[in-house]
Chain A
Amino acid sequence: NAGVTQTPKFQVLKTGQSMTLQCAQDMNHEYMSWYRQDPGMGLRLIHYSVGAGITDQGEVPNGYNVSRSTTEDFPLRLLSAAPSQTSVYFCASSPKGLTGNTIYFGEGSWLTVV
């Protein structure tokens, strides 16, 4: 059981370049989210999805796009990278439901924009 898999783990981009961070989960979870973590801070929600074909913005969506064509995959696209997007990105997934389900986080993707 792989859980939540993120790729790449490390990436250096030049300002203005675009790229996609991949996130895949094999637990058939309905909910998936992307967060960013800046030094000395907690995670902030970028975008989230409640199921295939449904996405919405979180707290800090500007400069990012997402899509959810399948239950398993939730890629995050940086449209035109800026130094302010240098951060660690975490993908998370969880099952739908009212009881206390754990939220599973990926290992993180370290992105540097120069």
Chain B
Amino acid sequence: ELKVEQNPLFLSMQEGKNYTIYCNYSTTSDRLYWYRQDPGKSLESLFVLLSNGAVKQEGRLMASLDTKARLSTLHITAAVHDLSATYFCAVDRTGSARQLTFGSGTQLTVLP
């Protein structure tokens, strides 16, 4: 059974600071996704990571994937209040039809 663990579950950080969210998964995967969710809203796709060593960046967010360690990270650089949201990683089992297993989410609050 595929398990996906995120940490931390809750994160409060000051504006301007850097921090990393970690996502560990238990079995081989074809791809890893990062999503953002605002309260009462749907999921917004941030990154899709396909291969070992993949790194993608968008604005203040950078995601990376280490398939050997079964670990993905979402790094936040110089946080701003607008980044406050819940962030989920999700893993697509090898050979599956986009059947995602999600982590529990990291609720990020950026304080002024």
Contacts and interface: CB of A to CB of B under 8 A. Distances in A.
Are A and B interaction partners? yes
Interface of A: 30-31, 33, 35, 40-45, 48, 50, 58-59, 90, 92, 94, 96, 98-108
Chief secondary structure at chain A's binding surface: loop
Given A35-B100, A42-B105, A45-B99, 16 more contacts: A33-B99, A42-B102, A42-B103, A43-B43, A43-B88, A43-B100, A45-B101, A59-B101, A92-B100, A94-B98, A99-B50, A100-B50, A101-B48, A102-B45, A103-B100, A106-B42
Instruction: Report, as a range, how many residues of chain B touch the other chain.
Output: 20 to 34
B88 to A, nearest CB: 5
B48 A33 contact: no
B90 interface: yes
Given A31-B97, A42-B90, A103 B103 contact: no
